[in-house]
């Protein structure tokens, strides 16, 4: 199966977007990856980022560097506020990139390869990075004359400083990560080859959620034994493949209940639930209310 990779930016000459997120949308609680490079700054709150199977507890002022190959999801508390920057590598490299241009993006490859997506907290370097992110957010909001030039300039400054901070931290520590809070990821990640196999299974779930999905079939798609596939999938997502599938179906069902007048029976069928009673039971288990009660809210 061809790997599915999402594109989160429209096709345009300036592939850059800066946004603020309150909490985590249901889509981003699912395993996902995208064509763009991502910088995620925690402005408030606590939670867990799972990136390539590595679990990162996060807090205010943490900065994550996420490569376009990284498979990830986020769990949050109710007070989470994130600044999210997405940009295409073409913004930095252009059509006639030099070796120096390529170095700007080195931090993404290094973070992904080494399993160290959380930038170290090392004042005053971190303070400079946060200041640059504030300026990027301001320029993105005001869109003053020549704001695109200013945004690219600020982004390049951020990347240059992030490379310096990351490289110096790796040189200082044989474990590869030093920060003032001495926090380490709480789990080990998976290699790229294994990640590709899991991505194939996730893509199948996303595209075929309405069909009957079995653990045996998913493990076959991933070309792994059932025990190995189940353990690896749970490492990446925090839940089993079957529970992940059920949650995916619940998300789709909630959207249909909100946005359409389709009967609950047909929604249950279209979302891959074996029966209306099974749908009602699982929907209430995951949402705390029946499908009918949920629909009445909208």
Q: pLDDT for 5-51, tens place per residue?
A: 555 555 468 999 999 988 876 666 788 888 899 999 999 999 889 99
Nearest-10 Cα torsion for 251, 252, 253, 256? 130
Q: Which residue has the higher pLDDT, 198 or 121?
A: 198
Q: Give me the pLDDT at residue 10, please.
A: 54
Q: State the average pLDDT for the chain.
A: 88
pLDDT digits 0-9 by tens, 57-71: 999 999 999 998 899
The dihedral built from the CA positions of residue 169, 172, 176 and 179, taken in this order, carries a sign that is negative
Residue with tokens 């945004």: 151
What pLDDT is recorded for position 179? 47
**What Cα–Cα distance (Å) separates residue 152 from each residue in 29, 127, 282?**
30, 20, 47
Which residues contact residue 146 at a Cβ distance below 8 angstroms, ignoring those fewer than 6 apart?
none
The full set of domains in the chain, from first to last, is 16-172 (2.60.120.280), 192-296 (1.10.10.60)
pLDDT interval class at 99 (50, 70, 90): confident
Q: Is it the case that residue 229 has pLDDT exceeding 80?
A: yes
Residue with tokens 């590598």: 89
Tokens 């400079």 belong to: 128
Tell me the pLDDT band of 2, cut-offs 50, 70 and 90.
Answer: very low
Predicted local confidence at residue 81, as pLDDT: 94
Per-residue pLDDT, 64: 96
CA distance 177 to 152: 28
Question: Quick one: tokens of 191?
Answer: 């290699």
């Amino acid at each position: 199966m061809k790997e599915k990779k999402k594109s989160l930016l429209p096709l345009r000459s300036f592939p850059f977007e800066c946004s603020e997120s309150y909490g985590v949308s249901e889509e981003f609680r699912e395993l996902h990856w995208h064509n763009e490079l991502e910088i995620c700054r925690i402005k408030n709150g606590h939670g867990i980022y799972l990136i390539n199977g590595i679990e990162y507890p996060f807090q205010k002022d943490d900065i994550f560097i996420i490569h376009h190959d990284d498979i990830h999801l986020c769990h949050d508390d109710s007070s989470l506020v994130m600044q999210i920057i997405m940009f295409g590598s073409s913004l930095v490299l252009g059509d006639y990139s030099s070796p120096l241009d390529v170095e700007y993006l080195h931090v993404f490859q290094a973070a992904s390869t080494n399993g160290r997506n959380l930038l170290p907290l090392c004042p005053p370097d971190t303070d400079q990075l946060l200041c640059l992110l504030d300026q990027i957010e301001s320029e993105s909001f005001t869109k003053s004359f020549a704001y695109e030039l200013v945004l690219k300039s600020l982004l390049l400054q951020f990347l240059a400083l992030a490379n310096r901070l990351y490289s110096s931290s790796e040189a200082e520590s044989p474990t590869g990560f030093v920060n003032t809070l001495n926090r380490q990821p709480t789990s080990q990640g998976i290699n790229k080859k294994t990640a590709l196999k899991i991505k194939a299974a996730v893509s199948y779930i996303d595209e075929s959620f309405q069909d009957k999905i079995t653990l045996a079939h998913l493990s076959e798609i991933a070309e792994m034994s059932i025990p190995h596939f189940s353990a690896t999938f749970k490492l990446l997502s925090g839940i089993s493949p079957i529970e992940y599938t059920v949650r995916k179906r619940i998300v789709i069902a909630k959207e249909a209940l909100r946005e359409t007048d389709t009967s609950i029976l047909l929604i249950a069928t279209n979302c891959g639930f074996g029966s209306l009673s099974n749908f009602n039971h699982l929907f209430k288990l995951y949402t705390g209310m029946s499908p009918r009660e949920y629909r009445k809210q909208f």
